[in-house]
Amino acid sequence: MKKIGIFCGADVLFPTSLIEYINSQNKNVKAELVKIGTFRIAENLSYDLIFDRVSHSVPMYQAILKAVTTTGIIVVNNPFIKCLEDYFFQLYVAKQLGYNVPETVILPTKDHPIGTTSDTFKNLIYPLDWANLFDYIGFPLYLRVNLLGSEHFTYKVYNPSEFFSAYDASGSRQMVVQKFFDFNNYYRAFVIGKRFVKIFHYDIDKPLISRYSRGSSGINPTHKKEIETISTDLCTALGIDFTTIDFGVFNNRIYIVNFYNSSPRIDNSIFGEDDFKWFVFTTGDYLISLVENSKEYLRNSKWYQVLKMK
Query: pLDDT at residue 305 above 80?
Result: no
- pLDDT band at residue 205 under the 50/70/90 scheme: confident
pLDDT tens digits for 238-260?
999 999 999 999 999 999 999 99
How many whole angstroms separate alpha carbon 232 and alpha carbon 94? 13
Average pLDDT over every residue of 145-149: 84
- pLDDT band at residue 170 under the 50/70/90 scheme: very high
How many whole angstroms separate alpha carbon 78 and alpha carbon 286? 15
Flag whether the pTM goes above 0.85. Answer: yes
Taken in order of first residue, the domains within the chain and their CATH numbers are 2-77+286-306 (3.40.50), 84-89+93-98+182-261 (3.30.470.20), 125-179 (3.30.1490)
Query: pLDDT at residue 309 above 60?
Result: no
- pLDDT band at residue 215 under the 50/70/90 scheme: low
C-beta separation of 191 from 231 below 8 A: yes
What value does the mean pLDDT of the chain take? 92
Lowest mean pLDDT among 117-131, 168-182, 204-218: 204-218
pLDDT tens digits for 106-115?
999 999 989 9
